[in-house]
Amino acid sequence: MAKTRPGLSAAKPKPGKKDLDMYTIRGTSKIVRVGDCVLMRPSDTGKPPYVARIEKIEADSRNNVKVRVRWYYRPEESLGGRRQFHGAKELFLSDHYDVQSAHTIEGKCIVHSFKNYTKLENVGAEDYYCRFEYKAATGAFTPDRVAVYCKCEMPYNPDDLMVQCEGCKDWYHPACVGVTIEETKKLDHFMCSECSEDDVKRSQNGFHASPVSDTKGTALMAALRYAILLLVASLIASFAEERAIYLVLMEGEAVAFHSNIQLQHGRKFDPQSEASKVHAKKLVDSHDQVLQSTLETGSYNKLYSFKHVINGFAVHTTPSQAKKLKQASGVKLVERDRRTKLMTTYTPQVLGLPQLWTQPGGDRNAGEGIVMGFVDTGIDPWHPSFASYGLANPFTSVISNFSGACQAGPQFPAFSCNGKIVSARFFADGAQASAPLNATVDILSPFDVVGHGSHVASTAAGNNGVPVVVNNFYYGRASGIAPRARIAVYKAVYPTIGTLTDVVAAIDQAVSDGVDILTLSIGPDEPPQDTVTFLSVFDIAMLFARRAGIFVVQAAGNQGPGPSTVVSYSPWAVSAAASRTDRRYPASLILGNGLNVTGVGLTAPTIGNGSLLYRLVLAKDALNFNGRFPRTAEYVEECQFPEALDPNVVRGSIVICTFSAGFNNGTSTLTAIIDTARILGFMGFVLVANPNYGDFIAQSIPFSVSGTLIPKVADSKIVSQYYEQQTLRDARGFVRQFNARAAIGDGRVASFGAQSPIVSRFSSRGPDFIDINRNPADVLKPDILAPGHEIWAAWSPRSVLDPILNGYNFALLSGTSMATPHIAGIAALIKQKNPSWTPSMIASAISTTATKFSNNGDIIMAEGFEVGSLYPSTHFDSGAGFVNPSRAMDPGLVLPSEFEDYISFLCSMPNIDRFAIRAATGVWCGQSFGHPANLNLPSVTISALRGSLTVRRSFKNVAAKSETYPHREPKT
């Protein structure tokens, strides 16, 4: 998330304005015009002035002058923060525009090009330089690379004099290219060895790229410089590029599938056997040999060797070195790393699990003997959801096929693996290579400082009956879907960054350890750029995990409700979509005229629980007129800054804050409103929708002070109308008397019986696609619908990415990340009852027994783009339908598909090169299905039907008795 400045927001244009040619800075004689760069006063006097470029100057009818500006960001304000190759006077030209009072301009400054900046004799306080344009919303740069190292391997430092090649635009230390600093200052042109090689050849043939100076010393210097550059050409080419992480697949079987290593019970292998160790060492040695024989010494850093489920490695190197790897003997595939992102007191009852738990042992047995692996942000081992039961109910089952490890580290001692948590590891080499980590939050241990990993693990396998208490209010008891399952933790995502490299390494290790279920409530932040979706290294890792007998479930993504927004593509991973349950937490604002306005928020009522009414004050009617602060939305309307409000007016009042520009562009937060309320002593707050911005989306989250959100414009107008009717104003519009009264109702008491399930608005939709151009695929995605909206589960009190949840042990979250562990837990229960079932049989049972209908008997509905809108869902919204675990235990028939079938599926796709399939999977196309829709899935998806097509399915009877299934002709 890009950092943005507090106190700055876009203003809505008003009529009666006129453009100005210039403006004289207040208190000075300096004139600024459009195109000038200026220093602007920040709201926090302890911060340096902001730098902006003036795009427009205008005055309103009262001659108040405002400027439209485009902001420059300092490196520390960008995603990733300041790095060693960012200079002290460097700025990034952002895409963040704003309108500010001209009075906030403090002075003029100059933003140079870097080339001109390096030639300044004396750098003044007003001198800056800019090399990049920066997209504040995404953190992307243009250009998207910078030379971080010179040939000497010393870091690039723009605060020292550097020399830039006019061809490739890379920068070098003068000494490294054979010139002095003084000589560098005199150079008008410079070409590096690669770019000047042709010029040198032409020079030898009597041709010159530029006139030769008649100064003997200069000519001698140039000749010497060219000679030196030619000698170090290859080194410079390596170190001038910015490094990246590359995932590499090699020829040869991984340990799990090597012919000399026998699988146990048809799926698991023993990584500690002598044969496994010998083959693993052979693979690692082959990785090192390829790197040493192909790449230049010092040009790379190997991060991981993948050897258990896939054969390959991850390397941190330059693009030019990666190109060499593609040509190396034994290398099948080279893929650039992508980033990853993070995609129950009540849901067990929604799914009917208490009845399911009535089998022998009940919840004391549900999931017993099953190990669930979680690749996520780690786990909080101190949480009661993961406590060992102790002697009263010990873990008696011996998990003979599992062999994990407990990696101790900060906040995670060795005894954190307590029997409930049977293994915990962390993977950070990719993260450390990609960005500077923050030691205070990027903890190098399995400990979870985010909360996401703990939430996911407890939803699937948390202990049963754990009290949920937040802000001293008891919400009920939480339980995982399979509360007796064991937990294996693989931390691979960090607050600063997450890489697929670390995730793939975690998957490789989880298969080696012997997990039964692999839960991925994380995923790539974009489709692969250079390959089809099914053949990315990440998807291939999941394919081979499936081949090893691991049930893999993945979050569908949170980019709905648009079509083809899923980030889970492959048929060998079950993709979970998210839905609402029938539970709601209604909140309310009680007005003095007796009207109750519906709100959102887990809030305690104001004192008196609605029987006592308090003064109702609109924030912009309570401004501190003696304060010095920008008159922007964050200050005036959105209650972001205590200094903007008159404490004598707001103390003990319910304050109306308005959703405006700051919330619309993501710079304002509920946390800031709560802090303001606490500092100034509000009785409570109300955040109301703004007609200028429309309805907003509100989630039920806990407030530490009384407050409620009113996200609908229609409801906010009711509040506004009542307030204006009761408020007395003078002729200038200032309030003389606040007569409006209100109270905030209790928003923590749940109600039940609402229509459900409903596909959540954010849940990513199909159709599935095969490439970045979103060409459709013959696979149904998502696969299944599960509860994922407002789910209570364990949380880490550190909560470093969500300050509003800081200090809480539980959180009510929404996302397909929350739906995924529901499916994982159900798969664990099915596996426990049917230990011989393959992953495809479990997936089939879940899909064929799902329901298409809601609790009122109608087709499941889905939320649309408009807030509050619903439409009848399709299979591209909900997959097979809403999961029904009780029926999934005994589906009668299943549709199995195994590794060879997935290869045949890939070979049946017309748009996939067979050599690419061989490179990714190691298997040649020997058999095709004729059409990819013939893959034996519990669904039929045909992306482009011309005429008619016959598809085939094979069923296996898994019922305890003979069953008859009548055939019904389809209706015409």
Q: Which residues have a catalytic role annotated? A: 376, 452, 817
Which stretches of 157-274 are assigned E, i.e. beta strand? 163-164, 171-172, 244-250
Token couple for 486: 């064991």
Positive or negative torsion for Cα 81, 83, 86, 87: positive
CA angle 359, 362, 363 (to 5 degrees): 145
- Name the CA dihedral angle for 837, 842, 848, 854, rounded to a multiple of 10 degrees: 140
Closest CA to 421 of 395, 451, 459: 395
Task: Report residue 724 as tokens.
Answer: 């204006």
Strand, helix or coil for residue 304: strand
Measured distance CA(522)–CA(573) in Å, rounded? 13
CB atoms within 10 A of CB 575: 30
Residue type, 395: F
DSSP classification of residue 379: B
How many Å apart are CA 211 and CA 209, to the nearest integer?
7
Question: Which run of H or E residues covers position 904?
Answer: helix 899-908
Pairing of strands 127-134, 105-113: parallel
| Coil, strand or helix at 546 | helix
DSSP string, 36-87: -EEEE--SSTTSPPEEEEEEEEEE-TT--EEEEEEEEEPGGGSTT---TTS-
Give dist(CA 468, CA 470) in Å, integer. 7
- Cα dist. 488→384, 402, 406, 507 in Å? 16, 10, 9, 12
Q: Which residue has the tokens 């407890």?
A: 458
* Separation between Cα atoms, residue 721 and residue 637, nearest integer Å: 17
Evaluated on CA atoms 845, 848, 850, 856, the torsion sign reads negative
